[in-house]
Structure 1
Amino acid sequence: MKTLRNLIGGDWTNARGEAFHEVVDPATEEVVARCPSGSAQDVRLAVDAAVRAQPAWADLPVAERVEFLSRWADTVAAHAGELAELECREMGKPVALGTAFIAGAAQSLKIAAAEALGYAFEETVAGPGDGSTTIVRGPVGPAAVIVPWNFPIPMTLGALGPLLAAGNTVVLKPSERSPLSAVRLMELMDLPDGVVNLVLGDARAGAPLAADERIGLVHFTGSVEAGRRVGAETGGRLRRSILELGGKDPVIVDAGVDPVATAAAVAFGAFANSGQICTSMERVYVHQDVAEAFVDALAEAAGGYTLGDGHDAGTVLGPLVDRRQRDIVVRHVTDAVERGATVRAGGVVPEGRGFFYPATVLTGVDDSMLVMTEETFGPLAPVVVVSSFEEGLERASGTRFGLAATVYTHDPAHIAAARRIPAGVVWVNQWQGGGPERLYEPAGDSGMGATGARASYDAATRPTSIHVA
């Protein structure tokens, strides 16, 4: 069994902490690696290396930094299948799905890095009187990047591109549940020593990393509870944080849409990656005019999401990441059923090894149930029938979360009204539409800090105005 190590200053280093935990394949429940649980000493050494590497990396011409990242993106793309195999082993994602997301993330890394070539790191602005004023934007780093277990490679690349292209060095901490792919990603990296450092562990690494006085920005993706702690820590130090936290994303299905085609789209939005996506469709509000046909088609589509080990080509739905996550799903379904909901598909834990749960459709739910108020992060589609688009809009907006939302409609007035949903991203007629050029910021308890394209560079740099009389 492999014991994983940290990457500090270009050297693979044994962890200083004495605590370790086992990484378990969620499909087989077999132990696949031994991972450090983290320590303040490991974090301090990693930040030391990032501090040392910062000046030389920042002094490189922007085009050279972009070229480094572009080559790394090409390498990642060439190894997308291998990285997807590791993601499957550590958190269960089907390899075909993982390969597609990683290949897309590699391309997005190239696009995000190239954004630096047109970004105004230095500009002269006009002003009254004599003299000139130049605004110079320099890196805020070193930066900390703390990523979740559900999309370890795409989330890492998405955060690193603008930070590195802007001249920051980084300490990366992946989730303790999915360290295998992060280790391999670092092995494939060809950047100067110390530019990206890897420290493994759970909160025993994450907490001291967020608290280190030398970290100028913490880019955190994870739960609301952990995000609040990160925000409090960085706020107390008067440092920046970008927080992308939980979601309970709604989807509104309007009258006049094709109920069968829309049901297939909603099934993918609710069940892909076993519902373990921050922007999964977790609340479905369907207009009464199409509700019966839509629910029938959604239940039928759920039956097509075949459970199995993600290494098998026929698998559409892999396991949940671990028993703890499956227990949350079971608790939400049980709560709904006990309070009057009806299971139209799925809803039963399968026998055998692995943390599997079937694609599940619930009807007769209301907005007081756990499945409608708390993030489930599982393959559930709870459906509420509404009498009008306005009712759907109101109920979709009635949440403390605000990560994303999806609306299916052909009515121009309803398309215009969709922007009233308080969310960082609103998709109309295509879930996950758009590309790397979009700007967004979560609303409510789903986080804070605008990212995407130039917003990511604004967050990764600090402006200084220099006036010469």
Structure 2
Amino acid sequence: METLQNFIGGRWEEPVGEDVVAVVDPATEEAVAYFRAGNAEDVDRAVSAAVTAQPAWAAFTVAERVNSINAWADEIAVHATELAELECREMGRPIAIGRSFIEGAAAGLKAASEQALTYPFAETVTGPGPAGERTDIVRHALGATAVITPWNFPVVMVLGALGPLLAAGNTVVVKPSERSPVSTVRLLELASSSGLPAGVLNLVLGDGRTGAALTEHEDVQLVHFTGSVAAGRAVGTATGRRLRRCVLELGGKDAVLIDAGVDPVATGQAVAFGAFVNSGQICTSMERIYVHERVANEFVEALVAAARTFTLGDGTDPGTVLGPLVDARQRETVRRHVQDAVDKGATVRTGGTAPERPGYFFPATVLTDVDDTMLVMTEETFGPIAPVAVVSSFEEGLARAAASRYGLAATVYTDDPEHIAAAARLPVGVVWVNQWQGGGPERLYEPARDSGMGATGARAAYDAATRPAAVHLAATAPTTGR
């Protein structure tokens, strides 16, 4: 049994807070670690360490900062299997799947930090004034920042936020979810051993109260938060009250549109992966499926067949494809959404019932005969559920996909150029066409509606991580007149 500690100013410290939190393996329902939840004093110590370390870190050259970050990224890649094993213990993801995500995140950290090498931290602009007059735009690091991450991707979400913040010269306090902090603790150990200077990266453990203390701290200049809509609203309120920045990536109810001209069998297999991988616990999971009536029967048959290959089990077993949900509360949300759909007329084509066994398992489930009054079509389910609605035209599917309070992402399968152009106008941050996920390091986006605020990725992430200042130089210096 492991007892976790905070990492502050390059040292491991026992939290001052007294409330003890257990980290539970969702496959066995047994505790795997404990920690004392940090309070306002713990948060203040972590933020103070970040504030103290920031000027020296900002004084490094950009290349020196990038090299330091990349050394850590290389160390993460070496330990990807170990980190995946820790994630499996704390939130259930099968190890092989987790390792691939972590390896990708380590590469992504390097790519994001290396963008600092070409980012215009200083540039000159000229205007219509006198010859020789110019304005220099200098972008400064913000200072101490905070990254608050969710439980579903403990390693990936931390690494996805840190590259631009650190490479731009900021220091960071990380607050992972209380449900899955074990792998994040190991990440910080690797950061320390790879040579990242003390105080540049700090860790404080705790629950929502700890996160609130961090969000409300006067010396935190930016909060990068990933989580629920309700918690995101609280973060936005707190940072707005302090006139500080926030970047929010919140819930999603991502739609899938399947046009008449696609291969229904191949598309059904692809959608199964997008709906069920990580037990559906991804913000951009495929949660609403609109399929054209001409290919609906074949598509549903392929989707059901693929769903039945997602075998349930402990993620330590190499044969497991579908691990457990993170806890009993999340499983109850999934069960309630399925029951609501069935009560309103939906048909369960496969799955639909939690197995009688230890662990918070729920099978890959396909629902048909759904409508847009059901919870599985309107609220974020965050589970391995694929609800399928049949539409008479692509236009109908597009309209129903757009009719949501969420706006994170959408996926469209079509070979029609006009339909691709129409899908690009969906009110979401990312539209994937003919594949789920994808996009290079230069991609940037901003969630729409209740899915968040603040553009991220590529230059937008560096813009958020820096403050521009204008230095105006006159054409000539004043003279004494003598």
Q: TM-score, normalization: structure 1? A: 0.99
2:472 matches 1:467: yes
Q: Determine helix, strand or coil for the equivalent of 2:320.
A: coil
Indicate if the aligned counterparts of 2:8 and 2:203 stay in contact, CA closer than 8 A: yes
Task: Show CA shifts across 1:432-468 (max 9, x none).
Answer: 0212220100000000000101110000000000012
* Residue 367 of structure 1: aligned partner: 372
* Residue 420 of structure 2: aligned partner: 415
Query: What is the alpha-carbon distance in structure 2 between the residues aligned to residue 453 and residue 236 of structure 1?
Result: 28
Shift of 1:248: 0.2
2:98 matches 1:98: yes
Shift of 1:131: 2.6
Indicate if the aligned counterparts of 1:35 and 1:179 stay in contact, CA closer than 8 A: no
2:398 matches 1:393: yes
Q: Which runs of 4+ in 1 moved over 3 A?
A: none
Task: Show CA shifts across 1:239-297 (max 9, x none).
Answer: 10000000000000100111110000000000000000000000000000000111111
Amino acid across the alignment from 1:250: A
Amino acid across the alignment from 2:23: V
Q: Determine helix, strand or coil for the equivalent of 2:424.
A: helix
Task: Show CA shifts across 1:294-321 (max 9, x none).
Answer: 1111111100000000011000000000
* Residue 28 of structure 1: aligned partner: 28
Indicate if the aligned counterparts of 1:38 and 1:203 stay in contact, CA closer than 8 A: no
Uncovered stretches (5+) of structure 1, i.e. residues with no partner: none
Q: CA RMSD in A?
A: 0.6
2:175 matches 1:165: no
* Residue 60 of structure 1: aligned partner: 60
Q: Determine helix, strand or coil for the equivalent of 2:306.
A: helix
Query: What is the alpha-carbon distance in structure 2 between the residues aligned to residue 294 and residue 427 of structure 1?
Result: 19
Count of residues in Structure 1 that have an aligned counterpart in Structure 2:
469
Shift of 1:351: 0.8
Task: Show CA shifts across 1:1-56 (max 9, x none).
Answer: 22100000000000000111110000011110002222111100000100000100
Shift of 1:203: 1.1
Amino acid across the alignment from 1:409: T
Structure whose CA Rg is larger: 2
Shift of 1:334: 0.4
Uncovered stretches (5+) of structure 2, i.e. residues with no partner: 475-482
- The 5-angstrom pairing of residues 438-457 of structure 1 reads 438-457=443-462
* Residue 141 of structure 2: aligned partner: 139
Query: What is the alpha-carbon distance in structure 1 between the residues aligned to residue 170 and residue 181 of structure 2?
Result: 23
* Residue 202 of structure 1: aligned partner: 207
Indicate if the aligned counterparts of 2:126 and 2:133 stay in contact, CA closer than 8 A: no
Amino acid across the alignment from 1:15: P
Query: What is the alpha-carbon distance in structure 2 between the residues aligned to residue 255 and residue 301 of structure 1?
Result: 20
Task: Show CA shifts across 1:224-247 (max 9, x none).
Answer: 000000001101111100000000
Indicate if the aligned counterparts of 2:310 and 2:322 stay in contact, CA closer than 8 A: yes
Query: What is the alpha-carbon distance in structure 1 between the residues aligned to residue 470 and residue 103 of structure 2?
Result: 40
Shift of 1:80: 0.4
- The 5-angstrom pairing of residues 149-298 of structure 1 reads 149-189=151-191, 190-298=195-303
Shift of 1:141: 2.2
Indicate if the aligned counterparts of 2:408 and 2:428 stay in contact, CA closer than 8 A: yes
Shift of 1:125: 1.1
Task: Show CA shifts across 1:111-132 (max 9, x none).
Answer: 1000000000001111212432
Indicate if the aligned counterparts of 1:310 and 1:318 stay in contact, CA closer than 8 A: yes
Indicate if the aligned counterparts of 2:407 and 2:448 stay in contact, CA closer than 8 A: yes
Q: TM-score, normalization: structure 2? A: 0.97
Query: What is the alpha-carbon distance in structure 1 between the residues aligned to residue 268 and residue 124 of structure 2?
Result: 53
Amino acid across the alignment from 1:331: R
Query: What is the alpha-carbon distance in structure 2 between the residues aligned to residue 358 and residue 117 of structure 1?
Result: 46
Q: How much identity, in percent, do the aligned residues show?
A: 70
Q: Determine helix, strand or coil for the equivalent of 1:188.
A: helix
- The 5-angstrom pairing of residues 14-25 of structure 1 reads 14-25=14-25
Shift of 1:403: 0.3
Amino acid across the alignment from 2:105: A
Shift of 1:170: 0.3
Query: What is the alpha-carbon distance in structure 1 between the residues aligned to residue 335 and residue 461 of structure 2?
Result: 38
Query: What is the alpha-carbon distance in structure 2 between the residues aligned to residue 274 and residue 381 of structure 1?
Result: 11
* Residue 150 of structure 2: aligned partner: 148
Task: Show CA shifts across 1:52-73 (max 9, x none).
Answer: 0010000100000000011111
Query: What is the alpha-carbon distance in structure 2 between the residues aligned to residue 310 and residue 156 of structure 1?
Result: 22
* Residue 478 of structure 2: aligned partner: none
Query: What is the alpha-carbon distance in structure 1 between the residues aligned to residue 38 and residue 401 of structure 2?
Result: 40
Amino acid across the alignment from 2:229: V
